[in-house]
Structure 1
Amino acid sequence: MTSIITSKKAGHSSTGGSVAFVGAGPGDDGLLTLRAVERLGEADVVVVDQLPREAIISRYCRAGVEIVDAGFGEDGQPMTRASRAKVVVTAAKTGARVVRLLDGDPATFTGLAEEIQACRKQSLPFEVVPGVSAASAVPAYAGVPLTPAGVSGVHVLHPHGEVVDWKLHASAGTTVVVLGAEEDITGAADGLLEAGRKASTPVVVTAHGTTTKQRSVSCQLGEVTPVLAAAKLDKPMTAVIGEAAALREKASWFETKPLFGWRVLVPRTKQQAGGIVKELADHGATAQVVPTISVEPPRTPHQMEKAVKGLVTGRYEWIGFTSVNAVRAVREKFEEFGLDARAFAGLKVAAVGGVTATALREWGIEPDLMPAENQSAVGLLECWPPYDEVLDPINRVFLPRADIATDTLVAGLEQNGWEVDDVTAYRTVRAAPPPAETREAIKSGHFDAVVFTSSSTVRNLVGIAGKPHATTVVACIGPQTAKTAEEHGLRVDVLAAEPSADALVDALAEYGAGLRLSADEAGEPVLRPSQRKGSTRRSAK
């Protein structure tokens, strides 16, 4: 038994321990049920199975939750079901609320029965939270409906059990799903062939199902052994045997996403990268965030303190937010003074774009002004009304911004009759270089794409990690960012239609779809940019 994470122990229940057996699904964290998320949020201890679940735990569990690995013992060998049951019971007897995360669905091919019996013997209360089984989810993600017309049943086989009579599964009207490793699937193929299943029966074998590592191969039942030997798929694997597998060519939806399997570099702070990471995942990519800047408080707090006090006393007609960091800086100063969003009463609020507006709404503030299209300082200036002596009782604007912000907005507002308090709310400094392996991955072409959201992200990434490899697709949020990238010797492949993170990811996805279409039309395999190391592509001069 190995304790993996415990920054500080969460408080255990004073009324005695309990166990929730929770299905964690086959790999995609988005397949958790609402009840599973609720139980994870209440847990004092989480006992994990064999698949890594760090993302689930960091997202849904409280800080300080204790994580116990019940997949492998201290000797590195897989733990027995009895040993896992003992781990669960021992944790619950301390008074902890234990979540036992079981891969897939708890009731399907797991040690649930043994662990329930162990809880019963110790009079520990428990519940079972069903999960999504690999037997149904992986075929669905592979584009294989299990029960098309003409199929009368689905038989699910697992290496934990021994098939005595393969004739029970040999009917042409049956879909057979086999969970396990290569030897389990080839063994099943041999058994079905001996029982009379036709060698021409369609088969789809999928590895790492429901994740962006998913890979599927199609063949006929009589070809399973040589095809799997050549494919070199990793376990866990799921095989679908039967006429349903023939539908994959038309029903595939996950592995055909435009950026499926792409590894995309996002040079941004983790706080700012959330939306981009989610959008990339929706298109099938995995994002790796590499912070290129560090946001720090101003060197002296006097300006911000004076401006916030002036805001409360009615000094300003407007406050303009040009970034999420500005929202965060003002909010932190409010909390320091014991203020909340009610202090904005009577004040007009401007936001440079949708992301900044979202940060304000999370604070309970609805912006009065936001550019509809050009979401930039220029766009904000274009829609900001000029000062009117009759309509505006106060002629002063509070702009909390970065120390390196340009003067475009300030100069334009002053020309329109406003007096502007341009206050340094935060400083941006270059972040520390990423780990050596990340720097090497950037320079050697292990990333398929990089998305630049500003000129500073270009300059800082090159400064702390070096230039991305020539095969890496470079996507930029706007013309100025693209110009900076070219000045640093990069060839820009993708330019967003408008200066927003959503538009940037959409443009990259459209580019990826174009590469896939070109490969399909040429009858060639679809290769990610990182797989094209022999490409003649060159950096910009």
Structure 2
Amino acid sequence: MKAAGTVYLVGAGPGDAGLLTLRGAELLGRADVVVYDALVNPELLRLAPPTAEIIYGGKRARAHAIPQEQLNALLVQKAREGKTVVRLKGGDPYLFGRGGEEAEELAAARIPFEVVPGISSIYAAPNYAGIPLTHRSCCSSFTVFTGHEDPTKGGTSLDYAQLARTPGTKVILMGVERIREIAEELMRHGMDGATPVGMVRWGTTGRQESLVGTLATIADLAAERGFTAPAVTVIGEVVHLRERLNWFEHRPLFGQRIVVTRTREQASQLSRQLLELGADVLEIPTIKIAPLTDRQQLEDLKDALEGIGCYDWLVFTSPNGVTAFFDYFFKVFGDVRALGNVRLAAIGPATAAKLQELHLRVDAMPRQYLAKQVAQAIREHGSVENLKILLLRAETANPELPRLLSEMGAIVDDVACYRTVAETEDVTGAAERFKEEGADWITFTSSSTVEHFHARFDLPACLAQFPRLKTASIGPETSKALQRLNVTPTVEAREHTIEGLVQALRRWRPAE
């Protein structure tokens, strides 16, 4: 009989993917099955192996993808199949998340399980809104209660009289829909209507919204704003500290939803910088890198590898080209010394860094992908006349560079070493969210990201559907691809790098 697997009840944290614990990340990395809830940041699913079975467990008010009893049975079933199961739950598994019920079911079925605590929105959401739950000048205690009780109960189990007279901060989870009733009950039992109240929606993420009022006004304010779940409510004098301690919402790109279209493997570099600046990032990779399949292209690459010692320069135009070429190279030679005395040119610091990972010195590095600058960087080492230059690029690439080098007298072999193909998967649901809600920016880092995004979404139609949507280009070649669609980029990076693109977003100001 096959040994039972283990179920891990893992707290996914309050929304910011960076707040997942190391233990949680480790377990996701070796999961066979992941069952996740609605409030889990879907970006965390990328930590699971590509082979993992991903199951949406749902559980928002009135919208349960899988009823709790069936979900409990599912965990038991998957474990009995000998699988490692990660039950990914928003916040902490044992704090108003029914994790205790799931653990009881596993214990009754004699299934091994482990509970991995998570950071709770109880304190994380107020933290990101500038509201500490305790402070020596205000209070030294806090009380937490839920505004969403078991609907099968005959009445509330909350003792509002006790809550009203208990000193300290009060924190309400899942209470947005009942905030008027809760506020009225607290005031009816003696709480001052002028008591400050703060509400934090989608706390710790780029979607965060905050609302401040008093016990007497908060329900009307929430109704006027259309303030809906998920949100945490804080009642008490500590809310006044938000004016001085609101660190997260003052970040330069806070409130800006930005689409990243780079390949899944490369997206993190740009996404990380945008998240640090407070943006709400939607990673929607439009391309992925694939090996060559065309027989003639493979023959050309094979010939170039066999004659590698005859070249004076190897020119790499992207980190993808470096990775793809050396994958083929090491299969043939197995030793980097087979490159001989060839010189290396890399366009941009990211491409140069990829070569430096292989302990290869870069001889020429134009920062911008402009044919004239590439040619000039190579010519600074002497005349290029009669030099043999090998360009290692994508299957489809701009013909301007090889033409310019040839006109200068070089002998140029323009050889493909990888393909860019359309990425259509939507593992995290980011593409669906974009279709429904739009964004503030779409960032494009190459001509191919423009072309594949347009093929998938119809870029001009998106710009018409979402008037606030703007486009950001990494450089002239990418901008040309946009202009071919009759789209003028809102901003173009001065320095044609990821850092330059981020700076362009930071500098942009709407026209007066």
- Give the alignment's TM-score, normalised by structure 2: 0.80
Structure 1 residue 482: Cα displacement: 4.9
Structure 1 residue 355: Cα displacement: 2.1
Structure 1 residue 508: Cα displacement: 1.0
Equivalent position to 1:47, from 35, 39, 52: 35
Cα distance per residue 1:316-373 (max 9 Å; x no partner):
45422111332243134236547465655765433211222344456x3444335375
Task: Confirm or deny: 8 A CA contact 1:371 1:379 kept in the other structure.
Answer: no
1:391-410 aligned at under 5 Å gives the runs 396-402=388-394, 403-408=396-401
Residue 249 of structure 2 aligns to a residue whose secondary structure is: coil
The residue aligned with 1:144 is 131
Corresponding pairs, count: 491
Structure 1 residue 378: Cα displacement: 4.2
Equivalent position to 1:500, from 484, 497, 500: 497
Task: Confirm or deny: 8 A CA contact 1:445 1:471 kept in the other structure.
Answer: no
The residue aligned with 1:324 is 319
The verdict on how the C-alpha distance between 1:498 and 1:237 changes in structure 2, with shifts beyond 3 A counting, is same
The residue aligned with 1:239 is 233
Equivalent position to 2:22, from 1, 24, 34: 34
Structure 1 residue 50: Cα displacement: 4.0
Letter in 1 for 2:390: F
Cα distance per residue 1:286-314 (max 9 Å; x no partner):
23536379877356122210111223xx3
Question: Do structure 1's residue 291 and structure 2's residue 283 form an aligned pair?
Answer: no
Structure 1 residue 407: Cα displacement: 4.4
The residue aligned with 1:279 is 273
Structure 1 residue 45: Cα displacement: 2.0
The residue aligned with 1:357 is 352
Give distance in 2, aligned partners of 1:387 and 1:495. 30
Give distance in 2, aligned partners of 1:479 and 1:62. 37
The verdict on how the C-alpha distance between 1:493 and 1:44 changes in structure 2, with shifts beyond 3 A counting, is closer
Cα distance per residue 1:229-269 (max 9 Å; x no partner):
22222322210111111222333333343333433345555
Aligned-CA RMSD value: 4.2
The residue aligned with 1:175 is 169
Give distance in 2, aligned partners of 1:292 and 1:509. 26
Give distance in 2, aligned partners of 1:68 and 1:445. 24
Question: Do structure 1's residue 222 and structure 2's residue 222 form an aligned pair?
Answer: no
Question: Do structure 1's residue 423 and structure 2's residue 420 form an aligned pair?
Answer: no
Letter in 2 for 1:244: V
The residue aligned with 2:92 is 105
Task: Confirm or deny: 8 A CA contact 1:178 1:184 kept in the other structure.
Answer: no
Moved more, 298-307 or 447-456: 447-456
Cα distance per residue 1:484-536 (max 9 Å; x no partner):
7567644443232311122112211232xx459x8xxxxxxxxxxxxxxxxxx
Task: Confirm or deny: 8 A CA contact 2:138 2:238 kept in the other structure.
Answer: no
Question: Do structure 1's residue 56 and structure 2's residue 44 form an aligned pair?
Answer: yes
The verdict on how the C-alpha distance between 1:496 and 1:157 changes in structure 2, with shifts beyond 3 A counting, is same
Question: Do structure 1's residue 126 and structure 2's residue 113 form an aligned pair?
Answer: yes
Give distance in 1, aligned partners of 2:103 and 2:453. 52
1:476-495 aligned at under 5 Å gives the runs 476-478=473-475, 482=479, 489-495=486-492
The verdict on how the C-alpha distance between 1:185 and 1:420 changes in structure 2, with shifts beyond 3 A counting, is same
Task: Confirm or deny: 8 A CA contact 2:330 2:336 kept in the other structure.
Answer: no
Cα distance per residue 1:78-124 (max 9 Å; x no partner):
76655543332232222222222222112322323333333333433
Give distance in 2, aligned partners of 1:267 and 1:16. 41
Question: Do structure 1's residue 67 and structure 2's residue 67 form an aligned pair?
Answer: no
Task: Confirm or deny: 8 A CA contact 2:405 2:412 kept in the other structure.
Answer: no
Letter in 2 for 1:505: V
Give distance in 2, aligned partners of 1:388 and 1:127. 65
Structure 1 residue 278: Cα displacement: 3.4
Question: Do structure 1's residue 475 and structure 2's residue 469 form an aligned pair?
Answer: no
The residue aligned with 1:448 is 440
Equivalent position to 1:155, from 143, 153, 158: 143
The residue aligned with 2:253 is 259
The residue aligned with 1:537 is none
5+ long unaligned stretches in structure 1? 1-12, 519-541
Letter in 2 for 1:449: W
Give distance in 2, aligned partners of 1:290 and 1:20. 30
Task: Confirm or deny: 8 A CA contact 2:312 2:342 kept in the other structure.
Answer: yes
Structure 1 residue 197: Cα displacement: 2.0
Task: Confirm or deny: 8 A CA contact 1:351 1:367 kept in the other structure.
Answer: no
Q: Kindly, what percent of the aligned residue pairs are identical? A: 33
Moved more, 302-311 or 341-350: 341-350
